[in-house]
C-alpha cells in the first residue's frame, strides 16, 4: 500500500509537470473506483488551469480555478506522467490530458483509489471535507510533538503501535513506519499508550520524523520513474531494521526479531532493545505468530 513517503514522492514527481498547466480533457475508462467517478466530472474539469498541488495525509489535493481534484492511491494506485500517444495498460483507469500534450495517468489494479472533483478549494476542503477535516497533525509539521502524543494518550489504553497508527492522532504512520519508529525509540509496540511518559513520547515523535524523512529522501531517487512511459513508479526499497525480519538478528544487539499481531496487523520488535514493561497497563491483547 502506498504510504505517506510514497505519496509525498508522487507529489514531488508530478508537481513540475502539472502546476500551471491547463486541463484539455479528462478520459475515464473505468469509473468504478472506491467512490465512482460521476459522468459529469470530465466536463467539470476541462479547460481549468491547475493552480496548486499539495498533500494532506495520504490524500493529494490538486487545486483548480474552480474546485479541486481529490486523489487517494488506495491499496495499489499510482500516478505517472506520460506523453501523448502512450498506449494505456490494463488498469489505467483515467487520463488527465494537459494542453501541452502531457498526460497524468491513474493506474489502480484493485480500484480502491479515489479520483474526484470536489467543489471546494484546497484551503476549504482541508477544514470542511469529511475525508480531511478530522485528520490529526502532519508528522513533519511543527504541531506534531511529543507533548501532543502524551496528552492524546492519557485517556487511552490501546497498544502504542495502534495509537500512533490512528489518523486522528497523527497521520501517515503506517504499519512499516510504526514498527521502525518504535524500535528506534526503544518502546515495545504492545505497551499501553497511557503508560508511556512524556520523555518516551518525545523520543517517539523524533523517531517518527526521522524514519519518514529518511524514507522520503530515499524516494527522491525514483522521481524519474514518474515520467517513465514503460513502467509504474518505483517505490523505493526500505532500509528496514525490524519490519519483515522475524527470526533474523537485530542489527543492534543480535537478538532474534519477533513477530506479533497487534490490532490485527503484523508487528515486529527486538525483545532486548524494546523490552515490554511488566505492569497492569501493558496492552496484552496480541498473539504471537
Residues at the annotated binding site?
91, 110, 156
Mark whether 265 is an active-site residue.
yes
Known binding residues for DNA = 91, 110, 156
Mark whether 154 is an active-site residue.
no
Catalytic residue among 15, 21, 157, 265: 265
As beta bridge partners, residue 265 has 262
Catalytic residue among 2, 122, 139, 189: 2
Catalytic residue among 44, 55, 56, 58: 58
Do 58 and 77 form a contact (C-beta atoms < 8 A)? no
Mark whether 2 is an active-site residue.
yes
CA angle (122 as vertex; 118, 126 as ends), nearest 5: 100
- The dihedral sign for the CA sequence 142, 146, 152, 157: positive
CA angle (34 as vertex; 95, 159 as ends), nearest 5: 125
Q: Which three cell numbers stand for residue 183?
A: 524500535
Catalytic residue list: 2-3, 58, 265
Amino acid at each position: 500500500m502506498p504510504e505517506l513517503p510514497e505519496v509525498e514522492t508522487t507529489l514531488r514527481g508530478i508537481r513540475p509537470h502539472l502546476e500551471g498547466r491547463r486541463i484539455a480533457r479528462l478520459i475515464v475508462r473505468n469509473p468504478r473506483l472506491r467512490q465512482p467517478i460521476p459522468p459529469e466530472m470530465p466536463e467539470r474539469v476541462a479547460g481549468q488551469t491547475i493552480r496548486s498541488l499539495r498533500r494532506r495525509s495520504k490524500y493529494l489535493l490538486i487545486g483548480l480555478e474552480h474546485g479541486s481534484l481529490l486523489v487517494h492511491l488506495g491499496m495499489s494506485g499510482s500516478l505517472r506522467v506520460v506523453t501523448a500517444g502512450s498506449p494505456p495498460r490494463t488498469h489505467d483507469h483515467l487520463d488527465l490530458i494537459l494542453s501541452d500534450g502531457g498526460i497524468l495517468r491513474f493506474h489502480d489494479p484493485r480500484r480502491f483509489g479515489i479520483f474526484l472533483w470536489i467543489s471546494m478549494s484546497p484551503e476549504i476542503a482541508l477544514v470542511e471535507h469529511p475525508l480531511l477535516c478530522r485528520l490529526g497533525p502532519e508528522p513533519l509539521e511543527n504541531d506534531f510533538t511529543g507533548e501532543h502524543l502524551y496528552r492524546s494518550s492519557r485517556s487511552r489504553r490501546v497498544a502504542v503501535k495502534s495509537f500512533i497508527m490512528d489518523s486522528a492522532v497523527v497521520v501517515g504512520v503506517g504499519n512499516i513506519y510504526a514498527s521502525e519508529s518504535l524500535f528506534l525509540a526503544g518502546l515495545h509496540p504492545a505497551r499501553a499508550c497511557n503508560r508511556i511518559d512524556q520523555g518516551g513520547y518525545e523520543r517517539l515523535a523524533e523517531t517518527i520524523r526521522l524514519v519518514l524523512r529518511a524514507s522520503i529522501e530515499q524516494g527522491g531517487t525514483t522521481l524519474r520513474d514518474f515520467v517513465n512511459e514503460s513502467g509504474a513508479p518505483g517505490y523505493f526499497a526500505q532500509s528496514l531494521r525490524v519490519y519483515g525480519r522475524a527470526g533474523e538478528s537485530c542489527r543492534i544487539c543480535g537478538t532474534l526479531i519477533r513477530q506479533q499481531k497487534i490490532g490485527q496487523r503484523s508487528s515486529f520488535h527486538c525483545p532486548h532493545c524494546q523490552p515490554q514493561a511488566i505492569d497492569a497497563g501493558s496492552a496484552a491483547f496480541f498473539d504471537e505468530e
